[in-house]
Structure 1
Amino acid sequence: MYKKLLILFLCLGTLSITAQIKTPAPSPGSTLTQTVGLTDVALEYSRPAMRGRTIFGDLVPFDKIWRTGANARTKITFSDDVIIDGDTLKKGTYAIFTKPAATAWDVYFYTEYAGSGAPQTLDNSKVALKTSVKTQEIPMDIQSFTITFDDLTDNSGVLGIMWEKTYVGVKFTVPTDAIAAKSIQDVMSGPSANDYHGAASYYRSSGKDLKQALVWSNKATEMNKNAFWMTREKSLIQAALGDKKGAIESAKKSLEVAEKAGNADYIKMNKASIAEWSK
């Protein structure tokens, strides 16, 4: 009986050690996505709360680099290049660091976005862009640290940072007109070489209409004469149609360009096909 009780207590003790206690995070994580014009912007950050504390100038000291949130570094991702304060910020992911002051903040977009906390000193080579913005007073306390996308238009948005009674807005513009113009041009000009090549390759590999596949392949190779992979596909279609002479001619063209490009795989494949079709 004693042994049974001992085993039971040991089992209960093990369960209590391995059990996971769930409690609310003091600074819960937040993910925000927003399309501005035709540009996608994504934000990941944590949201500490005031909890009766004085924030700016105390919990968050003035004139020191702040991670702009809590826990992991706040990260923002732009799908296209954007313009901030007249400077270009390349598309990609950045940490947002700030240096708060009473009347204005410095805002940094930092290429080293992984990790937690802010470095003691920023590496200037990793500062992709820096801007300074004036603070605005909010008439009531914002209890939880908040980042928003405000004042959205087809061509711009404002990255809003607010906590306590302070709001800071970083305006950015997006290349909507350029993206839209390229999209219209691409559609109006018809399929690209890659489109024709993809359709031809699919028809051949799927056993569909090889004559139609050859029509598309001819268009692809005419539009991009240096694409040895497209000419290689044309040779395969010709061989499948029984035109070995044409297949060999296309394979030789593909081989010539592949050799100039130094592509060993296509050099090997073309040589093997030429040897096979020459029998």
Structure 2
Amino acid sequence: MKSIIYAIIASLIFGTLSVNGQLRTPALSPGSTVKQTVGLTDIEINYSRPAVKGRSIFGPDGIVQYGEFWRTGANAATKISFNGDLSFGKADLSKGDYTILTKPGKTSWKIFIYKYESPNWSSYVEKKPLATLEVATKKLNTSVESLEYAIQNISMDTANLEISWDRTSVQIPIQIDTKTQVLKNIDRAMAGPSIFENFNAALYLHENKIELPRALTYIQKATKNENAQFFMVYREALILRDLGKQKDALVAAKRSLKLSEEAKNNDFIRFSKKLISEL
């Protein structure tokens, strides 16, 4: 009986420890995500938000010392991502992921921009930044309790990245060449469907055995392109065969074989040879 009681007590203790091992508590500096589209460019910022909690924040008596590197957040390095090229301050940046470190000062902050490689913010301190900016500080009338990143003053091709905490704020100008992006989109749309869009349309129609003449129109728009791929030409041969155009199908199949051999794709070399023998 005693052994049974001991076993029950042990299981209860172990169960309690297991539950405690999974205990979740609120983060002191919770993570946050900011998403904003400026023109045609999507910008996303992932950072952690420390709070004032009655403390002195910036300066000799603050938790962020003037002239010293700061992760400009808490926990991990802040990650700033965008899917198009833009200017961040005076720095021209290609689409991708970046992080910033700052050296706050009383009247201005230095901003150091790095390609994002790791959440470990201290790993960037010894690296050479992609660009360095200096922006003036702004004194706020009311205190911002939790560090805040925001994208403000948005137009079709400009915005400001605003970083605010306690009674201090800085703004980093963002500029995007939306006009060029839109003109490229217009040119692309006016030029008609791409080679792959024509191929996919033909593939759908042919696989479902519907409107084969239409499928042939689409596939030949793709295969007449000098960048036509072997699998596109093979599909043209299949569509021509199914339309009863044996002679044209044979020409396409031979072209498919040639392109497959150039691409060293053994599967389509085999497919093309088989189709040629059948034709």
Using structure 2 for the length normalisation, give the TM-score.
Answer: 0.89
**Aligned residue among 84, 92, 95 for 1:80:** 84
- Structure-2 change in CA distance of 1:120 and 1:223 (3 Å): closer
1:8 partnered with 2:1: no
Alignment match, 2:73: 69
1:87-106 maps to which residues of 2 (within 5 A)? 87-106=91-110
Q: Distance in 2 between matches of 1:47 and 1:225?
A: 50
- Structure-2 change in CA distance of 1:87 and 1:213 (3 Å): same
Q: Runs of 5+ in structure 2 lacking a partner?
A: none
Aligned to 1:215, the other structure's residue is in SS state: helix
CA positional deviation for 1:46: 0.6
Report Cα offsets for 1:146-174 as digits up to 9, x if no partner: 11111111111111111121111111112
CA positional deviation for 1:199: 0.5
1:210 partnered with 2:212: yes
Q: Distance in 2 between matches of 1:106 and 1:266?
A: 58
Q: Distance in 1 between matches of 2:135 and 2:74?
A: 21
- Structure-2 change in CA distance of 1:267 and 1:151 (3 Å): same
Aligned partners of 2:36 and 2:43 also within 8 Å:
yes
Aligned to 2:122, the other structure's residue is in SS state: coil
- Structure-2 change in CA distance of 1:277 and 1:108 (3 Å): farther
**Aligned residue among 179, 182, 187 for 1:180:** 182
Report Cα offsets for 1:2-56 as digits up to 9, x if no partner: 3343223212211221113332210001111111111111111111111222222
Aligned partners of 1:193 and 1:224 also within 8 Å:
no
1:73-222 maps to which residues of 2 (within 5 A)? 73-119=77-123, 121-124=125-128, 127-222=129-224
Q: How many pairs were matched up?
A: 275
Q: What one-letter code is carried by the residue in structure 1 that aligns with 2:164? A: M
Moved more, 2-11 or 154-163: 2-11
Q: Distance in 2 between matches of 1:186 and 1:241?
A: 32
Identity %: 35
Q: Distance in 2 between matches of 1:36 and 1:186?
A: 21
Q: Runs of 5+ in structure 1 lacking a partner?
A: none
Alignment match, 2:40: 38
Query: What RMSD in Å do the two structures reach over aligned CA positions?
Result: 2.2
Q: Distance in 2 between matches of 1:70 and 1:187?
A: 45
Using structure 1 for the length normalisation, give the TM-score.
Answer: 0.89
